Amino acid sequence: MRNACVFIMFILLSGCIFSPQDKISHRWDFAAIDMPNVKGFVDSIKIAYQGDDIKENMEKFFRGNELMLRKDNSYDIVAFKKYMHGAWKYDEPNNRLVLADETGQTQPVVFYVDSIGTQWLELKTDGENIRKLIPAYDFGSVGYSYLLKNSSFTLFLSRDKDVYWQEKNDPYSKVNNFWRIKPASPETKQQILDRVNNHLHFWKLIVQDAIDNDRGVISFHWFESPLVIASNGSALRNYDDVKDAWETNFYDSTQAREGYALLENCFKKGVKAGETDSHFQNDIIIIDQLIANLGR
């Protein structure tokens, strides 16, 4: 009898472990893409990344792009620099994965699960759904002309082993990305300040995450910011050069300029470069000054 119970328990657990729903509920890194005329796409990003290795160039293009399918059926996605949060649903009989945008500003994004393993995920979709994930300010960027066509696309994702027990520590969680979730109504001056403050803390979290997890490289390719932070100091990009991307984070262009003015004021109050032997720690020193100046 005992052996029978053990056998039944093993079958039940095996069913849970290997179910498609369980397999798909993980963090996934975008790694590559296939499409008609993929050679043209590869050649276009090759010029930008100045390398001949196709796999390496693909990885550079998608660096920082992630899909988090959480077990509570919430998700976070950063694809082509666009961030979305909401609820996901997997229609297993039809292999259909649907991502609903919590804000309702973007129509649900639909993928078809072509294959899935413990370490990889292949998703198929079409041009209509890819375009939902591409911000307008990216339309003229390298490689994006190939993504805007009415074509079929296959996205290749690999399993990300990072684990964050609290959302406040996860660079991809909603609590750390609300600065780039466009509000549905005008915000108060305090709300605009909070949005800019969240943006600065987002920067700090990325660098601190690299320090805590002993990462050799930090990727800043998966978001747009007016800030430039380097080992020898920091700067603020000219507004005309960043306004298209920056304005997507605010209710309108007027409030976006208010947010930018807050960043300008942080620099006017003075920011000194860090002088430690750690490039990452010098970044933290700069960001901490910006946060302190914002609060004054």
Domain with 190, as residue range(s), is 167-295
Do 94 and 154 lie in one domain? The reply is yes
Do 243 and 129 lie in one domain? The reply is no
Q: Is residue 186 in some structural domain?
A: yes
Do 254 and 281 lie in one domain? The reply is yes
pLDDT for 9 equals 40
pLDDT for 14 equals 44
Summarised one tens digit per residue, pLDDT across range 82-140 is 999 999 999 999 999 999 999 999 999 999 999 999 899 999 999 999 999 999 999 88
Q: Is residue 11 in some structural domain?
A: no
Do 172 and 256 lie in one domain? The reply is yes
Do 64 and 124 lie in one domain? The reply is yes
Dig out the tokens for 273 from the structure. 């470069």
Domain boundary among 143, 159, 175: 159
Please name which of 35, 217, 25, 256 lies closest in space to residue 125, comparing C-alpha atoms.
35
Dig out the tokens for 84 from the structure. 């979305």
Q: Rounded to an integer, what distance in angstroms lies between the CA atom of residue 89 and that of residue 86?
A: 10
Q: Is residue 17 in some structural domain?
A: no
Q: Is residue 16 in some structural domain?
A: no
Do 47 and 105 lie in one domain? The reply is yes
- As for how many domains the chain has, the answer is 2
Q: Rounded to an integer, what distance in angstroms lies between the CA atom of residue 296 and that of residue 280?
A: 25
Do 171 and 155 lie in one domain? The reply is no
Q: Is residue 208 in some structural domain?
A: yes
Q: Rounded to an integer, what distance in angstroms lies between the CA atom of residue 190 and that of residue 196?
A: 10
Do 175 and 280 lie in one domain? The reply is yes
Do 235 and 272 lie in one domain? The reply is yes
Q: Is residue 4 in some structural domain?
A: no
**6-42 burial string, b = 16+ CB within 10 Å, else e?**
eeeeeeeeeeeeeeeeebbbbbbbbbbbebeebeebb
Q: Is residue 9 in some structural domain?
A: no
Which parts of the chain sit beneath pLDDT 70? 1-20
Q: Is residue 268 in some structural domain?
A: yes
Do 114 and 51 lie in one domain? The reply is yes
Do 46 and 152 lie in one domain? The reply is yes
